[in-house]
Amino acid sequence: MPQYRDNAVVLRTYKLKESDRIVVFMTEHHGKVRAVAKGVRKSGSRFGGRLEPMSHVDVLFATGRELDIVSQVELIGTTNKARNDLDRLSRGMSMVEVVDQLGMEREETPHLYKMLVGALETLNSTDSDLVLGAFFLKLLTSEGARPELDFCVACREAIGELDGGSYYFNLENGGVQCRRCSLGRRVSGDALLLMRAILGGRMIEALNYDSGAASREVTELATLVMEHHTERRLKTMHTNIH
């Protein structure tokens, strides 16, 4: 039986028969892969604990007729801190849910793998509200759906220096609107500044921002934009976002 090895992040799992699971991976070189982990639900399974969602693993696959088979699996990194914090766990599960939606079966998408690995590592090292929002914004950019933050999407007037007041974000048009056009969801100037920092390559500056109302606002807005882009509601997000 032909075999191949790849690095991967576990996206989700579901039961198969009495003791097996089907595991969905986002791999580095083979896109999204579904594979059977045989006997993984039995007590004493040699790699059951390594195949939980968010796990970063090195996997040896055996090629099967319909589904591949997990032959070996070793952990590459740990997300223990994120797993032991309910807020961070929810954010991490939202990350893998979105990548599961965006990834294509057997279609190589190394950027999705790399972005997910980087985001989970950051999530494991910081409890900032902003990690999830930043991940969504960068994913949207990679998908060609970068939000417009510098020009009003209605009248195209430049929105230069931002003050502490409210602006508007139009989901349908994919960006900010000026106060004169004022159509869409209210968004603060502080939140827009954070979004500009994230998409302008100043992620460290954004993460060092005191986590508060603006950080939560960015994550809520980025989640809405992502849901609009994928046309699906994220099951793993806190219901109070909506």
pLDDT value for 18 = 87
Q: List the beta bridge partners of residue 185.
A: 169
| Cβ neighbours around 210 below 10 Å, total | 8
- Return phi, psi of residue 158, to 5°: -65, 135
Are both 88 and 177 inside the same structural domain?
yes
When pLDDT is averaged across residues 123-134 and rounded to a whole number, the result is: 92
**Residues 187, 218: Cα–Cα separation, whole Å:** 9
Total number of domains in the chain: 2
Select from 52, 77, 102 the last residue of a domain: 77
Domain end, chosen from 31, 51, 77, is at 77
> Same structural domain for residues 155 and 107?
yes
Predicted pLDDT at 210: 65
6: nearest Cα among 30, 23, 39, 24: 30
pLDDT for the residue 242: 38
- Considering 77, 111, 138, which residue would you say is the last residue of a domain? 77
Instruction: State how far Cα 136 lies from the chain centre.
Output: 6
Residue 241 reports pLDDT greater than 70: no
Which backbone phi and psi does 43 adopt, to 5 degrees? -65, 135
Domain range for 47: 3-77
Which residues are registered as beta bridge partners of 54? none
Shared-domain flag, residues 193 and 87? yes
Q: Give how far the C-alpha of residue 226 lies from the chain's centroid of Cα atoms, to the nearest Å.
A: 10
So what's the pLDDT on residue 47?
Answer: 77
Q: With 60 as the cut, is the pLDDT of residue 154 above it?
A: yes
If asked whether residues 138 and 88 sit together in one domain, one would say yes
Whole-model pTM: value is 0.92
Question: Region 187-193: what's the mean pLDDT?
Answer: 92
Highest mean pLDDT among 7-11, 75-79, 161-165: 7-11
> Residue 160 pLDDT > 90, yes or no?
no
Same domain, 161 and 195: yes
Residues 96 and 150 in one domain: yes
Angle of CA points 67, 68, 71, to nearest 5°: 145
Percent of the chain predicted with pLDDT > 90: 73
Average pLDDT, the chain: 91
